[in-house]
Chain A
């Protein structure tokens, strides 16, 4: 149990990321790769993810403006986005990506639009929560070891 109040708060924030389903086991694996040689590894990977995601989301938005929908292209973009999201353990975002791809495969344009809006909400929420988490983590200083969520 963390005695330091900031570390306690950090632990609580981290646990809630898992409890609320925002991240999964893959996030723990990222944390386990973080060490003295790569002290900000998780945040670096997540930053790369944001950069990747911004590009893909823009591509999807542009593709959704063109009618008729090119479902093959939309699916290909979402395939990339899902892969990236899986890599950082973005659980809810990944789930919404899967749903979007199912709508693509069934040629359901309305479904794609709805799912994409939901995906962007989940993505924005994740960014907000991870942003706050990393900000506190930087203030709290380096953590010794990653621990699996309860």
Chain B
């Protein structure tokens, strides 16, 4: 599914009232400083601790060094290592974080390839507050089960 909608039918449109969470961590992976700042501020507003990485390799290296994040926002087109390659590597390493692809409006085939790399969801950039609320609700539900 393209546009600002989930690529999975499992997301529910829930109110974002109770999603402020001080325990969640996020990694924003994007080669655009502008998008990194935007998503950084968005997520911090919800109480997340946020780190940023300018490409997929930096993100993968962080995980290799032992970092872990509840949520990874992964841009698709990046130099050095793109989002598809980075996602595949992270899943191959056994990373179980929620990985959310963030793309410009690509054709359905391109989003599909990104999803198949191991994403949980894929949305058009930039993420809206509504989408972020939904993702955090899902993360909170997931964490309660563990």
Q: How far is the CA of A48 from the CA of B32 in the complex (A)?
A: 10
Q: How far is the CA of A52 from the CA of B33 in the complex (A)?
A: 8
How far in angstroms is the closest Cβ of chain A from B35?
Answer: 6
Q: Specify which of A38, A41, A80, A87 is in contact with B126 (CB 8 Å cutoff).
A: A87
A107 at the interface (CB under 8 A from B): no
Output the nearest chain B residue to A50 by Cβ-Cβ distance.
B34
Majority DSSP secondary structure for residues of A touching B: helix
A69 at the interface (CB under 8 A from B): no
B93 at the interface (CB under 8 A from A): no
A84 touching B129 in the complex, CB below 8 Å, given contacts A33-B45, A45-B38: no
Q: Specify which of B34, B41, B77, B104 is in contact with A49 (CB 8 Å cutoff).
A: B34
Q: Specify which of B37, B42, B125, B129 is in contact with A83 (CB 8 Å cutoff).
A: B125
Interface hits, B96-146 → A, CB 8 Å: 104, 125-126, 128-129
A15 at the interface (CB under 8 A from B): no
Residues of B close to A86: CB separation below 8 A: 104, 125-126
A82 at the interface (CB under 8 A from B): yes
For B, the interface residue count at a CB cutoff of 8 angstroms equals 15
Q: How far is the CA of A3 from the CA of B32 in the complex (A)?
A: 40
A79 touching B104 in the complex, CB below 8 Å, given contacts A48-B33, A52-B32, A87-B35: yes
Majority DSSP secondary structure for residues of B touching A: helix
How far in angstroms is the closest Cβ of chain B from A141?
Answer: 22
Q: How far is the CA of A23 from the CA of B92 in the complex (A)?
A: 42
Residues of B close to A87: CB separation below 8 A: 32, 34-35, 38, 125-126
Q: How far is the CA of A76 from the CA of B76 in the complex (A)?
A: 13
How far in angstroms is the closest Cβ of chain B from A78?
Answer: 10
A26 at the interface (CB under 8 A from B): yes
Q: How far is the CA of A13 from the CA of B42 in the complex (A)?
A: 26
Q: Specify which of B32, B35, B129 is in contact with A32 (CB 8 Å cutoff).
A: B129
Q: How far is the CA of A33 from the CA of B104 in the complex (A)?
A: 21
A115 at the interface (CB under 8 A from B): no
How far in angstroms is the closest Cβ of chain B from A51?
Answer: 8
A118 at the interface (CB under 8 A from B): no
A40 at the interface (CB under 8 A from B): no
B41 touches A26 (CB 8 A): no
Q: Specify which of A41, A45, A48, A82 is in contact with B104 (CB 8 Å cutoff).
A: A82
Given contact pairs A76-B77, A83-B125, enumerate 8 new A-B contacts (beta carbons under 8 Å): A29-B129, A33-B41, A33-B42, A49-B34, A52-B32, A84-B34, A84-B35, A87-B34
